[in-house]
Amino acid sequence: MADISPSTSNVPNEAGRFGLFGGRYVPETLTKALNELTTAYTEAKQDSVFQNQLTELFNDFVGRPSPLYFAERLTAHCGGAEIWLKREDTNHTGAHKINNTLGQALLTMRMGKKRVIAETGAGQHGVATATACARFGLECVVYMGAEDIRRQAPNVFSMKLLGAEVRAVETGSRTLRDAINEAMREWMSSVENTHYIIGSVVGPHPFPLIVRDFQSIIGQEARQQSLERFDALPDLLIACVGGGSNAAGLFYPFIDDADVAMLGVEAGGRGSQPGDHASPLSYGEHGILHGSMSYVMQDEDGQTCDVHSISAGLDYPGVGPEHSYWKDSGRVEYTSCEDDDAMHAFDTLTQCEGILPALESSHAIAAAMQQACKLGPSKRIVVCLSGRGDKDSNEIARIKKEMATAAASNQ
Amino acid sequence: MSAIDTTFEELRSLGKTAFIPFITAGDPDLEFTGQVLAELEKCGANICELGIPYSDPIADGPVIQASYTRALNQRIKLNAILDNAQTWTAGLSTPLVTMVSYSIIHRQGLERYVAQAKHAGIAGAIVPDLLVEEAPQFAAICAREDFSLIQLVTPTTPHDRALRICETTSGFLYYVSVTGITGARQELPPEVVDQVSWLKSKTELPVCIGFGISQAAQVKMLSQVADGIIVGSAIVKRVASAAEIGKAAALENVRTFVQELVAEL
Ligand SMILES: Cc1ncc(COP(=O)(O)O)c(C=O)c1O
């Protein structure tokens, strides 16, 4: 059911619509806070004091601009197009998530609120939120699925060190989706004095807009760096898509550049059967989840399906509404990458370049390696290396042991 | 006029306040839901709310969430709920309304959901995640089909917005007593009475109060201003006791509790 009209960067509209997608499907209790947030953000966007404050934080606290790095040995290994990495892994706290949390922490203070809640999957958004809250003296509570607490133990410890309270979510699949449910429920009661810093381009309007804008620094820098480094725009952009914030941040500033192709990579998990993957853009339907209309993995009754990925940050049955808009308009192509291929890409990048990517980012690397072979050597790919892999080391050790045991028992 | 309008007309002529219990469809199975509905009617319920289990309810506290999970774990499907509802409504004189997420309605198709629900004898819907901005399309279908669309006003809703919500609401207006999720509260905010009085001075719609109500004293106090009192989690908790003490004893629990509340009206 592709929308044949070309997509534009001039979205969303007043109602938070990206074409068919987005909008606001939440209990009435939250309307007042969402309207307040929309107003605060609209004003902040025009306010040079706010923008300068954010730029200063990006430069001196996060360490921006993040490098655009030519992965020379990986390029040679693949034997095709040049692979360039947009190094969000070099950011303070090790991922792109900090771009959004600093912006939203400033908005929190602008709205006169002193308390923040957040959800987290991989723990990167939780750490980034806890960091921003520590920096500004805001109280911070992070909801995290019990399964993810197990998978991402180092990040849980960091959040606590940073002074955040981590609340384990034991409902449902005990992953990111349930953490969002729980954070929204808490927000229903605390909305008068608490801001909810959502971690991706998902949720009710204005969250998908705000998070995209704060993450767009990735694409703005990549655009300028490309012109400086190779005097041209990239031929292809690639990013992994969980909720879709690092991808939206890289893609959005290039949306009106018709010659730049874009590829979003979802988690292909164990395969294409329902429950084995987390790829709503590849296998899902139009539906409503967590306050907006988008592609979602749901059954014929509209119940959200369980999903799977080795990476906690991609283990989500929904996706940001703007990605659904880009998909239906044909502006961005979406594919999915299975667990094993992501693991292989993790090993390859680590060994070729001395860079440990996050498991989430490894999905984008895997797709880049494939695309590099398809495209000729005269082409250039920019991949968002959304985060560093240190947080995954325990989980990777566990998976490798499992793989070794499985291999031994097959012999 | 939908069956809900008729019910309130009758209650008004008698000067009475409606008692509106909520239970979850299929908790722990559909047969028991039918029995509980029949019992609620016998105890004096005037309208019954039937919760359609949803995987990701945002407005619900632990008790109702758990009831949805129990039902979904039994793989209870919407078709089965509506098939059974047709039998239940045939035997009940109290109107039945569904409390249903817009995710489910959207998935069915708006027209189709209303047609199926009406076919099952259901009089209306409460859609807790459908805001007035997103409601026009569904509201138009409900109006055309004489299917009540019960919308919610909360303590965070400004007055002008509340009036806008009234414009597309039918059946009754649902005033949410607390800023928060469903679940029994020891105390309700004192502003409830003033807020509901204000609403009643501005709209012809019956105004019913829900969220947090679990005690006879609360029912008594709120019945001074409200056209109806909605009680959910406190009843669902008693339905859930079936798992430990058996269905007959759970039904007895529900009966005793509801009778105690209805006596205040
Ligand atoms: C390093 C990293 N990349 C990607 C993601 C996925 O999120 P998004 O799709 O919003 O960029 C996460 C989420 O936790 C992450 O930690």
Quickly state the pLDDT bin for A7 (edges 50, 70, 90). Answer: confident
- pLDDT tens digits for range A135-148: 999 999 999 999 89
A44 pLDDT higher than 60: yes
- pLDDT tens digits for range A251-310: 999 999 999 999 999 999 999 999 999 999 999 999 999 999 999 999 999 999 999 999
Q: Which of A209, A188, A207 is nearest to A197 (CA)?
A: A207
B36 pLDDT higher than 80: yes
Residue A1, pLDDT score: 44
CA of B113 to the centre of ligand 1 (A): 36
Please give, rounded to a whole number of angstroms, the shortest distance from the CA of A52 to a CA of chain B: 33
Whether A27 and B152 lie within 8 Å, measured CB to CB: yes
The mean pLDDT value for A57-64 works out to 98
Burial state string for A25-41 with b = 16 or more CB within 10 A and e = fewer than 16: bbbbbbbbbbbbbbebb
Which residues of A are marked as active site? Answer: 97, 119, 386
Residue A237, pLDDT score: 98
- pLDDT tens digits for range A97-129: 999 999 999 999 999 999 999 999 989 999 999
Could you give the percent of chain A with pLDDT greater than 70? Answer: 99
- pLDDT tens digits for range A174-224: 989 999 999 999 999 999 999 999 999 999 999 999 999 999 999 999 999
The answer, for B69 touching chain A at a CB cutoff of 8 Å, is yes
The mean pLDDT value for B153-174 works out to 98
- Return the ∠ at Cα A147 (arms to A196 and A361), rounded to 5°: 75
A388 pLDDT higher than 50: yes
Q: Which of A203, A260, A198 is nearest to A227 (CA)?
A: A260
- B171 neighbors B124 (Cβ within 8 angstroms): yes
User: Mean pLDDT across chain B, nearest whole number?
Assistant: 97
Specify the residue with its C-alpha closest to ligand 1, atom 16.
A124
A39 vs B contacts (CB less than 8 Å): none
Burial class of residue B233 in the structure, from the number of CB atoms within 10 Å of its CB (0-12 exposed, 13-18 middle, 19+ buried)? buried
CA of A245 to the centre of ligand 1 (A): 7
- pLDDT tens digits for range B49-79: 999 999 999 999 999 999 999 999 999 999 9
Say which residue the tokens 């705000």 belong to.
A210
Residue A280, pLDDT score: 98
Residue B14, pLDDT score: 96
